[in-house]
Structure 1
């Protein structure tokens, strides 16, 4: 499998330094450049960056402050930072490493050494990323697991709170799955879970949409920047896509094939006192309501403005 080139962000207020580094590294990596700390932080928020080469002495915001901000943000804290600076005192290097950098290169730099150190840290990051991805995937359904779900919900909740944006949860449960397992066997049950998981995942269309196995035969989708009506529409499409699989379920009182019940809850976080658990509980209550009212349907609650 061909690996995508990793992305390197070079941050320096001197265009000459950027040009030298970019020319030396562009044959192996995708290169982005920033001439200020603010520009660098903007790129880190909008692009997937694998490593930052960071100057220290820059106007308005120095490299130490940029590194501090990178390491204090959940979205960017694991991106390795290498300082490249004309500051050559041991105290400068110590401060840089304590700030969170993985390496410190002094100017004037030797390009082969820069290339070797960049290569080492990017290879390590690729391996770390692969291990994290493996730890975040449910082994049976091959979609994200509960651990990744909890991490993502916490992150998206904070983002929605900062941006004043709507956040919706969609909780789905396979109807009468115990009877399915009891009558068709656990191997068929596992295959059913895999097919339902893929049907639910295929319903989501936006890159930011996220779905995971919540536990057992339950799944949860996190829909960012998503108002209530869009979330309800997605939930209805999930029900249709699972029904369209036509997985036989002769022991279900709902339908002759596998179906799901879905609960939806939407809110716009507005206070640090609010917690994601409240939204999860609302989605779960709506899922319970869908089951109580006959299953194979969606029930929802819009908490925005409450």
Structure 2
């Protein structure tokens, strides 16, 4: 079932709001605000798919609100339609040059407004789908490496502002080449899908992200998670794979599939960056594999050693 898209209506005139709410309520989820400040609060809590924005409002006009929306990376791609009683080419040009996708003059024709809104929302849905495909691994249906790097960068900035740590799990399927040689590549693909699902099921919070890093390697981003909590989750992931009883008939460790994990934690600062966290987790994973695999190694919080 396709989820209903959300339209945010921003207008200080209650009569115009009621007309537009009635026009869109049957087909879309409708939010409304009567000022620019109220609209800014709403979009931070619930990002809409389309904003219909009155230009002439007291305190903060539509031009200023659009300027603020365009500064937010999460809202930059939301299409904005200007709504105004001023029917001049200069006003329309200014709005379109600022990034508005359309310009409606009051009084609005409801039938035309529905058609135009529908067209803009269909384009938005298409862009959202393409953006999702660009950051999703098609085999495992979790984030791909690009999706992981984008997400880590965003959470790193958030953690820096909040003074919170970020943890990372780096995971490798033990002797996966031998698995492919023994069972064949189709079975190997199925194994990757199963391990991805097991990793995802072991994560406990919506903010935790599982991603395929490449080949048989996976990563988990754990925002606002200290080293102790990251180790708990690493054990949960390892146990999930162990308890699944996935078979690996050509593994030196026995006839079951196992994984190795590297765990690293850093508190973002001016002295480090996301690449440092990845490097520490990668070194910890290397040590786990070097020590015999089917185990977890934790990078030291301060020195980066294992």
* TM-score above 0.5, yes or no: yes
Where does residue 20 of structure 1 map in the other structure? Answer: 19
Inter-partner Cα distance in structure 2 for 1:125 and 1:85: 23
Inter-partner Cα distance in structure 1 for 2:205 and 2:107: 45
SS in 2 for 1:249: strand
Q: Does 1:70 align with 2:69?
A: yes
Q: How does 1:26-65 map to 2 (within 5 A)?
A: 26-65=25-64
Where does residue 188 of structure 1 map in the other structure? Answer: 187
Inter-partner Cα distance in structure 2 for 1:233 and 1:70: 39
Inter-partner Cα distance in structure 2 for 1:270 and 1:156: 13
Question: Which of residues 265, 290, 293 in structure 1 aligns to 2:291?
Answer: 293
SS in 2 for 1:262: strand
Provide closer, same or farther for how the CA distance between residues 44 and 164 of structure 1 changes in structure 2, counting only shifts above 3 A: farther
Q: Deviations over 1:215-268 (max 9, x none)?
A: 000011112232332222111111011111212223223342111111122223
Q: Does 1:136 align with 2:132?
A: no
Q: In 1, are the aligned partners of 2:47 and 2:75 still within 8 Å (CA)? A: no
Inter-partner Cα distance in structure 2 for 1:223 and 1:56: 42
Q: In 2, are the aligned partners of 1:203 and 1:238 still within 8 Å (CA)? A: yes
Q: In 2, are the aligned partners of 1:74 and 1:155 still within 8 Å (CA)? A: no
RMSD: 2.1
Inter-partner Cα distance in structure 2 for 1:89 and 1:274: 52
Query: How far 1:180 moved relative to its partner?
Result: 1.4
Inter-partner Cα distance in structure 1 for 2:210 and 2:44: 22
SS in 2 for 1:171: strand
Query: How far 1:18 moved relative to its partner?
Result: 1.8
Inter-partner Cα distance in structure 1 for 2:142 and 2:223: 18
TM-score normalised per structure 1 = 0.92
Tell me the number of residue pairs that the alignment of Structure 1 and Structure 2 aligns: 304
Query: How far 1:29 moved relative to its partner?
Result: 0.5
SS in 2 for 1:24: helix
TM-score normalised per structure 2 = 0.92
Where does residue 170 of structure 1 map in the other structure? Answer: 169
Inter-partner Cα distance in structure 1 for 2:87 and 2:272: 47
SS in 1 for 2:115: helix
Q: Does 1:270 align with 2:269?
A: yes
> 5+ unaligned residues in a row in structure 1: which ranges?
none
Moved more, 71-80 or 117-126: 71-80
Q: Does 1:226 align with 2:225?
A: yes
> 5+ unaligned residues in a row in structure 2: which ranges?
none
Where does residue 157 of structure 1 map in the other structure? Answer: 156
Q: In 2, are the aligned partners of 1:140 and 1:194 still within 8 Å (CA)? A: yes
